[in-house]
C-alpha cells in the first residue's frame, strides 16, 4: 500500500486448464474428486471490456472510489482511472495517476480482489512500471504497487498482515532518491503519531518496463523475487497472521516533486496468479501461466477462504529431503511471532520443555491431533509439566500415558486449549524470538495465545 519504516500514511474450462498446465511441467494436480478440499488457484488475464464489465465484479474485483489515504491528502481515487486497454499486444489492467501539483487536481487509482482469502502460497503478477509520465513533466513522487493487506483493527493490531511485493518509486520519496523498489513485510503500525514495525528489502535501480513480481509465503518465510531473482527473504513476526486481499494501486506520496503543468502516469498489469498453499519456483509459475494462455483460459478462480485446505501434491520436480510426517500432522504456528511449536534440538526427550522456533517443516514441529485428545510429535505427547493445571505451568514433551491432562484441542477461535484445565497454551512474556517458552494461562484470545495449522 505504500508503507516502510520511514513512511507516514493516512489509512482510510478452467479446472482442466489448470491441471493441464501443472501436468505439463511435472506438477501433479489434485484429483478432481478432492477438488472441494483443495486450496485453489487464481489466474486473471484481465480480458475485460472496461471497468463497467459485469464480469469484473462477479469475479471479485472492486475499484476504489472513496476518499482517504494513502497519498496526497485531499486527492481523489477515481474509478475512471482504472481501464482495460491493449498494451504491447496484451489486454491489461491499467492504473492512471494524474496531478497538476494541487490536491484538487490530483487523482489516484486502485483495484482489489477484496474478498480476503489469500494467505500462504505463490503470488505472481507481470507489471509494466514507468520511469516517466505518459504525458507532462517528470519528477513526481509516484508509487506503483502490488501487495496483499488485511484491515488494521486498532493501532498496534498484532494480527495485522500486509505484504508489499513491490512498491516502485521511479523518482524516489520518503526521503530516498529514486529510482528505488521496495518489498516490505508488516507486523503492525500506528498511524498517528507514526510508528512502524516491519522488515523491508530494497533495490536502488530502475525497473522501468515489464517485470515479473513474485513472492512465496510458506514455512515462516516470505521470499520476494523480481524476474526470477531472489531479492528478499523475510521471517519472524512479520509473517502474515490472517487472510488478506490482493491489491494494485498507483498514487502520489506527496506533491514536492511536481515541476508544473499536468502529468499522467500509467502502470499496467498483464496478469495476476496465486496458487494457495503451493510453493512454485519462478520457472514453474511461468510455465503454469503459459499453460493457461495456451489453453485460451483468461480467468480461473477456485481459491478457498479457509487455510486448513489440502494443497494437493507439492509443486516440485525434486524429491523431498526430509521424511514425510505422519498422516494428519501439522505445524502449529503462532499468530503473534510467526514461529512454530518446536521440540528443542529435534530430540524427543521426556521432559523437554517445548518452545517456539522458526517454522522449518521438521518432524520436531509436526504435531498430530489424535482421537484420544492427545497432540503428538516424534512419538510423544504434549503435556503440562508435572500434570499441573495452574497458570504458568510449562508445556513439555512427555511419554503418552492416558492421563486426561494430556488432552488439548485447537478451537475454531485458534486457541490451543488444555481440556482438563480450560487454560490456553500461551507464549510466556510475549517473547517473539526463537526459544520462547510455552505455558498454560487463562484464555484471553490475545495474539500470543493464537495458533494456526501450517
Q: What is the pLDDT of residue 429?
A: 94
Rounded to an integer, the average pLDDT of 424-446 is 93
Residue 171 in contact with residue 138, Cβ under 8 Å? yes
Cα torsion for 117, 336, 157, 240, to the nearest 10°? -30
**How many CB atoms neighbour CB 361 within 10 A?**
17
Averaged confidence pLDDT in the chain: 88
89: left (phi over 0), alpha (psi -120 to 50) or beta: left
For the chain, the domain total comes to: 2
Residue 54 has pLDDT above 80, yes or no: yes
Q: What is the pLDDT of residue 14?
A: 36
Judge whether 40 lies within some domain: yes
Residue 224 in contact with residue 165, Cβ under 8 Å? yes
* Alpha helices (runs of H) in 267-372, residue ranges in sequence order: 282-294
Q: Are residues 196 and 236 in the same domain?
A: yes
- Considering 260, 280, 301, which residue would you say is the last residue of a domain? 301
Q: What is the pLDDT of residue 144?
A: 98
Any residues with CB less than 8 A from the CB of 178 and at least 6 apart, and which? Answer: 169, 170, 171, 172
Q: What band does 430 get if pLDDT is binned at 50, 70 and 90?
A: very high
Residue 44 has pLDDT above 60, yes or no: yes
Q: Are residues 434 and 364 in the same domain?
A: yes
Dump pLDDT digits (tens) for 353-384: 999 999 998 999 999 999 889 999 999 999 99
- Considering 260, 283, 301, which residue would you say is the last residue of a domain? 301
Q: Which helix (H) or strand (E) holds 19?
A: helix 14-24
Judge whether 4 lies within some domain: no
Give Cα 416 to chain centroid, integer Å: 23
Any residues with CB less than 8 A from the CB of 193 and at least 6 apart, and which? Answer: none
Any residues with CB less than 8 A from the CB of 114 and at least 6 apart, and which? Answer: 60, 61, 62, 245
Q: Are residues 222 and 340 in the same domain?
A: no
Q: What band does 447 get if pLDDT is binned at 50, 70 and 90?
A: confident
Least confident of 20-24, 45-49, 89-93, 363-367: 20-24
Q: What is the pLDDT of residue 398?
A: 93
In three-state secondary structure terms, 164 is strand
Q: Are residues 155 and 226 in the same domain?
A: yes
Query: What percent of the chain is modeled with pLDDT above 90?
Result: 77
In three-state secondary structure terms, 55 is helix
Phi, psi for 182 (deg, rounded to 5): -115, 145
Q: Are residues 18 and 162 in the same domain?
A: yes
Least confident of 171-175, 225-229, 417-421: 417-421
Q: Are residues 265 and 338 in the same domain?
A: no
Q: What is the pLDDT of residue 310?
A: 82
End-to-end CA distance of the chain: 26
Q: Which helix (H) or strand (E) holds 18?
A: helix 14-24
Judge whether 291 lies within some domain: yes
Residue 35 has pLDDT above 60, yes or no: no
Q: What is the pLDDT of residue 313?
A: 56
Whether the CA torsion 373, 377, 381, 385 is positive or negative: it is negative
Residue 63 has pLDDT above 50, yes or no: yes
Report how far residue 204's alpha carbon sits from residue 356's, in angstroms, rounded to the nearest whole number: 35
Residue 143 has pLDDT above 60, yes or no: yes
Residue 214 in contact with residue 165, Cβ under 8 Å? yes
Which structural domain, as residue segments, surrounds residue 397? 332-453
Indicate which CATH number applies to the domain containing 48: 2.60.120.200
pTM: 0.67
Judge whether 137 lies within some domain: yes
Q: Which helix (H) or strand (E) holds 216?
A: strand 209-218
Q: Are residues 188 and 257 in the same domain?
A: yes
Q: What is the pLDDT of residue 314?
A: 47
Judge whether 348 lies within some domain: yes
Q: Are residues 278 and 145 in the same domain?
A: yes
Dump pLDDT digits (tens) for 251-270: 999 999 999 999 999 999 99
Three cell numbers written together for 276:
494457495
Q: Are residues 285 and 338 in the same domain?
A: no
Any residues with CB less than 8 A from the CB of 412 and at least 6 apart, and which? Answer: none
In three-state secondary structure terms, 286 is helix
Dump pLDDT digits (tens) for 10-27: 333 333 343 444 433 333
Provide DSSP, 355-400: EEE-----GGG-BEE-TTSBEEETTEEEEEGGG--STTPBEEEE--
Query: pLDDT higher for 66 or 31?
Result: 66
Q: Are residues 257 and 341 in the same domain?
A: no
- Considering 253, 282, 301, which residue would you say is the last residue of a domain? 301
Q: What band does 1 get if pLDDT is binned at 50, 70 and 90?
A: low
Q: Are residues 61 and 162 in the same domain?
A: yes
Q: Are residues 284 and 350 in the same domain?
A: no
Q: Which helix (H) or strand (E) holds 274?
A: strand 263-276
Q: What is the pLDDT of residue 420?
A: 87
Indicate which CATH number applies to the domain containing 395: 2.80.10.50
Q: Which of 200, 251, 301 is nearest to 74 (CA)?
A: 251
Amino acid at each position: 500500500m505504500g508503507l516502510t519504516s520511514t513512511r507516514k500514511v493516512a489509512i482510510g474450462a478452467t479446472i482442466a486448464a489448470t491441471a493441464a498446465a501443472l501436468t505439463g511441467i511435472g506438477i501433479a494436480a489434485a484429483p478432481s474428486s478432492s477438488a472441494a478440499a483443495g486450496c485453489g488457484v487464481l489466474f486473471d488475464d484481465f480480458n475485460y471490456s472496461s471497468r463497467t464489465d459485469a464480469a469484473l465484479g462477479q469475479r471479485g474485483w472492486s475499484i476504489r472510489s472513496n476518499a482517504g489515504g494513502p497519498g496526497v491528502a485531499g486527492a481523489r481515487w477515481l474509478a475512471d482511472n482504472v481501464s482495460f486497454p491493449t498494451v504491447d499486444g496484451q489486454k491489461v489492467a491499467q492504473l492512471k495517476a494524474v496531478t497538476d501539483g494541487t490536491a484538487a487536481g490530483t487523482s489516484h487509482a486502485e483495484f482489489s480482489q477484496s474478498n480476503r482469502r489469500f494467505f500462504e502460497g505463490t503470488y505472481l503478477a507481470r507489471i509494466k512500471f514507468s520511469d516517466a509520465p505518459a504525458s507532462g513533466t517528470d519528477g513526481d513522487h509516484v508509487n506503483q504497487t502490488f501487495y496483499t493487506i488485511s484491515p488494521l483493527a486498532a493501532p498496534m493490531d498484532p494480527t495485522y498482515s500486509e505484504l508489499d511485493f513491490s512498491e516502485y518509486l521511479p523518482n524516489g520519496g520518503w526521503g530516498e532518491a529514486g529510482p528505488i523498489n521496495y518489498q516490505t513485510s508488516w507486523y503492525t503500525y500506528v498511524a498517528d503519531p507514526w510508528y512502524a514495525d516491519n522488515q523491508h528489502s530494497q533495490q536502488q535501480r530502475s525497473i522501468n518496463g515489464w517485470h515479473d513480481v513474485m513472492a512465496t509465503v510458506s514455512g515462516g518465510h516470505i521470499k520476494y523475487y523480481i524476474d526470477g531473482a531472489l531479492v528478499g527473504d523475510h521471517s519472524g513476526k512479520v509473517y502474515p497472521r490472517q487472510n488478506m486481499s490482493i491489491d494494485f494501486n498507483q498514487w502520489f506520496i506527496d506533491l514536492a516533486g511536481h515541476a508544473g503543468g499536468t502529468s499522467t502516469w500509467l502502470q499496467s498489469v498483464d496478469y495476476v496468479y496465486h496458487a494457495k498453499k503451493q510453493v512454485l519456483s519462478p520457472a514453474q509459475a511461468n510455465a503454469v501461466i503459459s499453460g493457461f494462455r495456451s489453453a485460451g483460459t483468461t480467468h480461473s478462480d477456485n481459491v478457498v477462504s479457509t487455510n486448513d485446505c489440502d494443497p494437493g501434491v507439492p509443486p516440485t520436480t525434486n524429491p523431498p529431503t526430509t521424511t514425510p510426517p505422519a498422516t494428519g500432522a501439522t505445524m502449529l504456528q503462532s499468530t503473534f511471532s510467526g514461529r512454530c511449536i518446536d521440540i528443542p534440538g529435534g530430540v524427543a526427550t521426556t521432559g523437554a520443555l517445548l518452545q517456539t522456533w522458526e517454522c522449518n517443516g521438521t518432524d520436531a514441529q509436526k504435531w498430530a491431533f489424535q482421537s484420544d485428545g492427545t497432540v503428538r510429535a516424534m512419538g510423544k505427547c504434549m503435556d503440562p509439566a508435572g500434570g499441573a493445571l495452574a497458570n504458568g505451568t510449562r508445556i513439555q514433551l512427555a511419554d503418552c500415558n492416558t492421563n486426561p491432562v494430556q488432552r488439548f484441542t485447537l478451537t475454531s477461535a485458534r486457541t490451543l486449549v488444555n481440556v482438563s484445565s480450560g487454560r490456553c497454551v500461551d507464549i510466556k512474556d510475549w517473547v517473539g524470538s526463537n526459544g520462547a517458552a510455552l505455558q498454560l494461562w487463562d484464555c484471553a484470545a490475545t495474539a500470543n495465545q493464537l495458533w494456526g495449522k501450517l
